Amino acid sequence: MAQKRLAILGSTGSIGTQALAIVDAHPQLFSVEILSAHSNAALLIEQAGKYQPNAVVVTDAKAYETVKQALSGSNVKVFEGHNALNEVVQWDTVDFVLGAIVGYAGLHSTLSAIEAGKTIGLANKETLVVAGELVMQKAAEKRVPIIPVDSEHSAIFQCLAGERMDTIEKIILTASGGPFLGKKPNFLVNVKKAHALQHPNWSMGAKISIDSATLMNKGLEMIEAKWLFGLQNEQIEVVIHPQSIVHSLVQFTDGSIKAQMGLPDMKLPIQYAMAFPQRIHNDFPRFQFKNYGTLNFEDPDIKTFRNLQLATQAMYKSGNMPCILNAANEVVVNAFINNKVGFLEMSDIIEQTMEQLPFIEKPNMEELIASDTEARAYAEQLLQNNDY
Ligand code: NAD
Ligand code: MG
């Protein structure tokens, strides 16, 4: 395999740092061309020193000044802002772009990389939630492979190797259920961020950890899967599987089911996406059946975890509704992290934002950008007026 030159967008995050650990293990296969971060200047400076990328991009103005100063005597170019990000991903020296920015903020750099024909490893599920149809259209037009990094989607992608897409009957996304599995509203009404951030199986960034606790993450993943694999809404199912060993499944037209399994470790799907179409060796711990007496599966409790229901509604409604859902969710998750809203109230605000924003059936990119802005403003207003 020729050495791949990587742009790692969001290199200071949970996915970004794990991707760099894979580079460490396989320096002959990967080199680092671009790194980007928002506000963690210290870690980005350290990464720049270690990996000597051609350039780094910093999207937070204050962090930019710090990074610029620290790297002034080095060969690493330092750029500021999202426009710079959109430019550097198009450089000839980039072979593979890992989209590991969190939230809507990752959309435009991913699109820009697709525009330039770069292979994408996509962790940033919000990109497909907001604009899945347009993103996949653009990828098809530019013949750009989008390799999923999300563990469930990597599982499905791996199950589909050698299969025809028109033989899929349905896919089954597994969900751990998060830290509050089995809890009821009378318990959830009092939970705080410290508790919600403690995921039983995975160690992840703050936003996705809260989304896992509310099951919004699984809802976002349903929409992500719909666009990635070109599925009908009815073909997408969710099952709770608390051990996170079966990472997802595909059922084919003959009733046969394929599952992809392994210990819960994001480094595996990240490595799979980076090395694709190769499968490369690693020394990660191996799953052993004897350590797991039972694997459990049950239906999600959508009455309690209403975000999963709201996301399912948004998926069926389609148009700009998933974009509205995502924007409102980003606002309330941020508020929850700052102790400004209760756990259950997050769903109330998302629901009201979905009800109140104008629906657009076939939005173009400008309309999606506007929907995102309006939905954020609406959700913020509900929060500020305590009106939900
Ligand atoms: P994180 O919060 O740990 O890291 C986010 C990264 O994005 C950081 O490098 C940060 O600097 C950058 N960033 C944040 N805000 C930004 C902005 N406004 N503009 C530009 N850059 C910004 O997040 P994470 O857990 O690594 O998740 C990244 C993405 O991967 C998310 O979309 C998440 O849903 C997805 N994902 C993560 C995991 C996981 O295990 N962490 C698993 C599956 C999917
Ligand atoms: Mg996932």
Q: How far is the CA of 248 from the centre of ligand 2 (A)?
A: 10
In three-state secondary structure terms, 371 is helix
> Which ligand number lies closest to the CA of residue 98?
1
Binned at pLDDT 50, 70 and 90, residue 36 comes out as very high
Q: Give the pLDDT score at 386.
A: 86
- Length of the chain (residues): 388
Count of other CB atoms within 10 angstroms of residue 293: 6
Residue 201 DSSP symbol: S
In three-state secondary structure terms, 252 is strand
Q: Give the pLDDT score at 387.
A: 79
The predicted-structure confidence for 130-174, as pLDDT tens digits, reads as follows 999 999 999 999 999 999 999 999 999 999 999 999 999 999 999
How high is the mean pLDDT of the chain? Answer: 97
- Check pLDDT > 90 for residue 76: yes
> Which ligand number lies closest to the CA of residue 121?
1
User: Whole-angstrom Cα distance, residue 128 to residue 368?
Assistant: 12
User: Whole-angstrom Cα distance, residue 300 to residue 321?
Assistant: 22
Top-confidence residue, 388 or 137:
137
- Check pLDDT > 90 for residue 65: yes
- Check pLDDT > 80 for residue 359: yes
Q: Tell me, letter by letter, the H, E, C secondary structure of 168-192.
A: EEEEEEEECCCCCCCCCHHHHCCCC
- Nearest residue (CA) to ligand 1, atom 32: 124
- Which residues on adjacent β-strands are paired with residue 46? none
Atom of ligand 1 nearest to the CA of 40: 11
ω before 185 within 30° of 0 (cis)? no
Q: Give the pLDDT score at 270.
A: 98
The predicted-structure confidence for 208-233, as pLDDT tens digits, reads as follows 999 999 999 999 999 999 999 999 99
pTM of this structure? 0.98
Q: Which residues line ligand 1 (CB under 6 A)?
A: 10-16, 37-38, 40, 59, 100-102, 105, 123-126, 150, 202, 204-208, 266
Q: Give the pLDDT score at 388.
A: 83
Q: Give the pLDDT score at 263.
A: 98
- Check pLDDT > 90 for residue 110: yes
Q: How far is the CA of 119 from the centre of ligand 2 (A)?
A: 20
Mean pLDDT computed over 316-331: 98
The CA angle 125-19-10, to the nearest 5 degrees, is: 55
- Check pLDDT > 80 for residue 325: yes
Binned at pLDDT 50, 70 and 90, residue 246 comes out as very high
Mean pLDDT computed over 241-262: 98
CA-based R_g, the chain, Å: 20
Top-confidence residue, 354 or 293:
354
User: Whole-angstrom Cα distance, residue 315 to residue 166?
Assistant: 21
Q: Give the pLDDT score at 335.
A: 98
User: Whole-angstrom Cα distance, residue 145 to residue 147?
Assistant: 6
Asked if residues 317 and 359 have their Cβ atoms less than 8 Å apart, the reply is yes
Q: Give the pLDDT score at 373.
A: 98
Residue tagged 């039972």 (tokens)? 294
Mean pLDDT computed over 260-270: 98
Please give the share of the chain, as a percent, with pLDDT higher than 70.
100
Positive or negative CA dihedral for 313, 316, 321, 323?
positive
- Nearest residue (CA) to ligand 1, atom 18: 105
Please give the share of the chain, as a percent, with pLDDT higher than 90.
97
- Check pLDDT > 80 for residue 1: no
User: Whole-angstrom Cα distance, residue 15 to residue 321?
Assistant: 27
State the amino acid at position 329 in one-letter form: N
The predicted-structure confidence for 296-315, as pLDDT tens digits, reads as follows 999 999 999 999 999 999 99
Asked if residues 380 and 329 have their Cβ atoms less than 8 Å apart, the reply is no
Residue 205 CA neighbour count, 13 Å, CB half: 20
The predicted-structure confidence for 119-131, as pLDDT tens digits, reads as follows 999 999 999 999 9
Q: Give the pLDDT score at 39.
A: 98
- Check pLDDT > 90 for residue 201: no
- Nearest residue (CA) to ligand 1, atom 4: 13
Long-range contacts of 102-106 (CB under 8 A, 24+ apart): 102/10, 102/13, 102/126, 102/205, 102/207, 102/208, 103/207, 103/326, 103/330, 104/130, 104/326, 104/327, 104/330, 104/372, 105/38, 105/59, 106/9, 106/10
Mutate to test the pocket of ligand 1, among 9, 11, 15, 173 (most ligand atoms within 8 A of CB): 15
